Structure 1
Amino acid sequence: MPDFADLLSLSMNPLELIARGSLMYWFLFLLFRFVLRRDAGSIAIADVLLLVLIADASQNAMAGGYETVTDGIVLVLTIAGWNWLIDWLAFHFDWVRRLVAARPLTLISQGKVHLRNMRKEMISQDELMAALREQGIEKVDQVKLAVMESDGQISVVKNGK
């Protein structure tokens, strides 16, 4: 029979858990925001593997060897709290929204492909053409504007031709 008092007691100082969770949250947030690329609406096996490895590597740094359920709850609430706070701040303040969300990136304008922007996000010609075909477009010259949005999706406006 488990000892519920031990299971629910804190084995670490809650402030240490909050500090560890906060530091790792901000480290991972900045890593994902500024280092990793946006994807054109899909998750590849390599991306899933990267996320699993990052989660495993950061777990010990965040937890510091916690042993009780309550320690885990404090840690999860800290991470969820930061996530909620960032969403709230981004909703209420434009400068926060600009900081946390990638800017839309023009890929095609007036039928002209912007190769520099494609290189910046590591989007191949094949990936771009696949996104256009999903929108019912066969040729680049049929596109007035194609933009990679902050969520990685490609928005397309067709020419009036």
Structure 2
Amino acid sequence: MFVLDAPLAETVVRGAVVYLALLFMPRAAGQRESGGLGLTDVLIVVLVAQAVSGGLGGGSRSVTDGLVLVATILVCSLAVDAAAYRFPRFAAVVKARPRPLIRDGRLNRPLMRREFMSTEEVLSRLRLHGVHDPAQVHLAYLEPNGMISVLRRGGEETDTPVRPPAE
């Protein structure tokens, strides 16, 4: 149960390669689908769950293999975060940034196309901030977590988005 099934170096390299591959793949999907969690948060949860599943379920991988893989994934995550903090050019590649969705009341149609956002969806998200017309918006950003932040004309920030009532 605690004996490694695979060589330690192979397990570490596999964990690092999978982490890095999955770090870059979601960037192609865009920001708006990630919801409240950041893409790297979702990535960590999925990878850790997969890494320990064999050891928990008694599959072909040992508990030790799973723990080595989890440690590798967490070290990779910390290394990417540290490198992004220290090197802005690297951060631009691996970290999503807020992107302007509305500027002075004008919708950013190319961004909307890239994120597959219809005008109706943008208007719906604005209403959650208490804004009924894009002309009221000085700046609105699509944030890395998929949320929209809104500054009205005159520089005032809008209310925090209201959650719909539970049914």
TM-score range, shorter chain: 0.7 to 0.9
Q: Which residue of 2 aligns with 1:93?
A: 87
Q: Which residue of 1 aligns with 2:16?
A: 22
Q: Which residue of 2 aligns with 1:74?
A: 68
Residues 91-137 of structure 1: per-residue CA shift (max 9 Å, x gap):
22212211111232211111111211110111121221122111110
Structure 1: where are the runs of 5+ without partners? 1-6, 44-50, 60-64
SS of aligned partner of 1:8 = coil
TM-score by length of 2: 0.73
- Once the two structures are aligned, what percentage of the paired residues are identical? 33
Residues 69-93 of structure 1: per-residue CA shift (max 9 Å, x gap):
0011011111111011111111222
- Give the stretch that moved more between structures: 100-109 or 130-139: 100-109
- Tell me whether 1:156 sits opposite 2:130 in the alignment: no
Q: Which residue of 2 aligns with 1:103?
A: 97
Q: Which residue of 2 aligns with 1:4?
A: none
Aligned partners of 1:40 and 1:148 also within 8 Å:
no
CA RMSD of aligned residues (A): 2.5
Q: Whole-Å Cα distance in 2 between the matches of residues 29 and 37 of structure 1?
A: 13
Number of matched residues?
139
SS of aligned partner of 2:101 = strand
- Tell me whether 1:121 sits opposite 2:115 in the alignment: yes
Which 4+ runs in 1 deviate beyond 6 A? none
CA pair 41-154 structure 1, distance change in 2 beyond 3 A: farther
Bigger Rg, which one: 1
Q: Which amino acid aligns with 1:28?
A: L
Q: Whole-Å Cα distance in 2 between the matches of residues 74 and 13 of structure 1?
A: 11
Q: Which residue of 1 aligns with 2:35?
A: 42
Q: Whole-Å Cα distance in 2 between the matches of residues 66 and 79 of structure 1?
A: 20
Q: Which residue of 2 aligns with 1:134?
A: 128
CA pair 135-73 structure 1, distance change in 2 beyond 3 A: same
CA pair 42-67 structure 1, distance change in 2 beyond 3 A: closer
Q: Which residue of 2 aligns with 1:62?
A: none
Q: Which residue of 2 aligns with 1:11?
A: 5
CA pair 158-24 structure 1, distance change in 2 beyond 3 A: same
